[in-house]
Chains A and B, each alone.
Chain A
Amino acid sequence: NAGVTQTPKFRILKIGQSMTLQCTQDMNHNYMYWYRQDPGMGLKLIYYSVGAGITDKGEVPNGYNVSRSTTEDFPLRLELAAPSQTSVYFCASSYHQTGKNQPQHFGDGTRLSIL
């Protein structure tokens, strides 16, 4: 199994450009997450999804959009790139059921620079 796959691995954007970070998982997990990681700040939750067609905001959603049309895919969209969005982005997935905690599995990350 591939687990969680993110593309691209690296990207440089100009201010004001838009792009989509792709994330797909093959573990049939119901929950999926997008995090950003800035140096020394830990992982901040941007958006998450509890299943196909259902998404919700995390701690730092401004400037981002998501969709979840299938169980496998959870793309993250940046509409108007700003320098503050320079970061490493991680997608993760887990199987969640109330009362049963399962670990989150992370993709390898997308390193995004906005200049």
Chain B
Amino acid sequence: QQPVQSPQAVILREGEDAVINCSSSKALYSVHWYRQKHGEAPVFLMILLKGGEQKGHEKISASFNEKKQQSSLYLTASQLSYSGTYFCGTEVGSQGNLIFGKGTKLSVKP
């Protein structure tokens, strides 16, 4: 039931792009994305509702394909500040509870 994130880790140079995927075996009501820096609390990035909408936050955007039960997070022209672990949280039914993936560790190098 835990969503599967891929890749597990990625290393980028500043200015490069990355895609992080989140797949679920269950039909999803929504997908939430969070970023967590080492030793800190997770910070909210965006929510996507079923309907295939795409949202953006700075140079970070995401899509949600409800038929495939997948969401992807797109990071363009990465900055050093983008380093951290990215988690997707999936909601089955409008219950308010999230099940989080294991995370994708993103490292951006100068």
Contact = CB atoms under 8 A, between A and B. Distances in A.
Q: Do A and B bind each other?
A: yes
A106 B47 contact: no
A25 interface: no
A41 B96 contact: no
A106 B102 contact: no
A96 B93 CA distance: 13
B46 to A, nearest CB: 8
Q: Interface majority SS on A: helix, strand, loop or mixed?
A: loop
Interface stretch (B12-20, B36-44, B73-81): B36-44
A57 B32 CA distance: 21
Interface residues of B, number: 22
Interface in B73-110: 87, 89, 91, 94, 96-103
A42 B41 contact: no
A40 B41 contact: no
B102 A98 contact: no
Nearest to B103: A42
Contacts of A35: 100
B85 to A, nearest CB: 9
Interface residues of A, number: 27
Nearest to A40: B102
Interface stretch (A14-22, A43-51, A63-71, A75-83): A43-51
B2 interface: yes
B91 A104 contact: no
A106 B96 contact: no
A59 B99 CA distance: 9
Interface in B10-55: 30, 32, 40-44, 47, 49
A77 to B, nearest CB: 21
Query: Lowest 6 CB-CB distances: which A-B pairs, in order?
Result: A103-B44, A96-B96, A106-B41, A43-B100, A42-B102, A42-B100
Interface of B: 2, 30, 32, 40-44, 47, 49, 87, 89, 91, 94, 96-103
6 contacts: A45-B97, A45-B99, A50-B96, A58-B97, A106-B41, A109-B41
